[in-house]
């Protein structure tokens, strides 16, 4: 098993045990690949859920640029909802897990088709 596969297994475990979701492994794999080399960088692989600037980056770089969403208050509401589901007190909120949940939330799986 390669490093990426180990991370995907970790993300699937978080989705199952921390978020109460059954992950779509094919989609999770595509979202993880879409994160690129950031999954191997300790700082870049997580999202600081309490930092407004970090959440703006998720909104602008992922929701608007990657998923093609139009800017609006519902984007930040969705990000906050996903952070809530993951657990505000959860120290490591992995970027791939958050991106996966946002993709599912907005029904944008076709972006990874």
**DSSP code per residue over the chain:** --HHHHHHHHHHHHHHHTS-----HHHHHHHHHHTGGGGGSTTTTB--TT-HHHHHHIIIIIIIIIS-PPPSHHHHHHHHHHHHHH-TT-S--BHHHHHHHHHHHTT-GGGG-
What are the residue boundaries of the structural domains of the chain, listed by start? 3-112
| Topology of the domain covering 3-112 | Recoverin; domain 1 (1.10.238)
- pLDDT tens for each residue of 8-24: 999 999 999 999 999 99
Average pLDDT over residues 55-67: 97
Q: Give yes or no for residue 70 having a pLDDT over 90.
A: yes
- pLDDT tens for each residue of 87-107: 999 989 999 999 999 999 999
How far apart are alpha carbons 88 and 86 in whole angstroms? 7
Percentage of the chain lying above the pLDDT 90 cut: 95
């Amino acid at each position: 098993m390669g490093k990426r596969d180990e991370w995907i297994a970790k993300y699937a475990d978080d989705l199952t045990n921390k978020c109460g979701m059954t992950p779509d492994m094919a989609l999770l794999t595509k979202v993880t690949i879409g994160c690129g080399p950031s999954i191997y960088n300790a700082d870049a692989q997580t999202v600081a859920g309490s930092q407004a600037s970090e959440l703006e980056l998720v909104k602008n770089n992922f929701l608007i640029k990657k998923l093609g969403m139009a800017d609006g208050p519902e984007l930040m509401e969705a990000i906050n909802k996903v952070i809530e589901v993951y657990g505000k007190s959860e120290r490591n909120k992995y970027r791939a897990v958050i991106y996966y949940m946002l993709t599912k939330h907005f029904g944008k799986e076709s972006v990874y088709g």
